Amino acid sequence: MTGGLTAGEEYTHKSPESPDSNVTLTTTPVGVSYREYEERLNEEKSRINLVHERYIADIARDVSRYGKRIKNPGSSLDISDIYR
């Protein structure tokens, strides 16, 4: 729910478990403080996604190609310099 909205105690939300499921899930609203909301949001933002090593060469190539297309680069360092 958007902040500031309220729902009565009798409110329930029903949705299918999955698009092709006959099972219906029912939930009721739970109050969350702004602090709890921010902590959950920051926790989610702090998760680091790692790139599998098989994609590193492709990413380095794409970044290098992108860097060469920049008209006035602010740096002369290339990503390939890191691997030398």
Ordered by start, the domain boundaries in the chain are 13-41
Note the pLDDT of residue 82.
Answer: 66
Tens digit of each residue's pLDDT, the chain (84 residues): 456 677 777 777 778 777 777 777 777 777 888 999 899 999 999 988 899 999 999 999 998 888 888 777 666 666 666 665
Give me the pLDDT at residue 18, please: 79
| pTM exceeds 0.85, yes or no | no
- What totals of helices (H) and strands (E) does the chain contain, helices first? 2, 2
Place of tokens 């702090």: 46
User: Buried b / exposed e across 20-42, counting CB within 10 Å, b at 16+?
Assistant: eeeeeeeeeeeeeeeeeeeeeee
pLDDT of residue 68: 82
Instruction: Report how far residue 40's alpha carbon sits from residue 9's, in angstroms, rounded to the nearest whole number.
Output: 24
pLDDT score at 2: 54
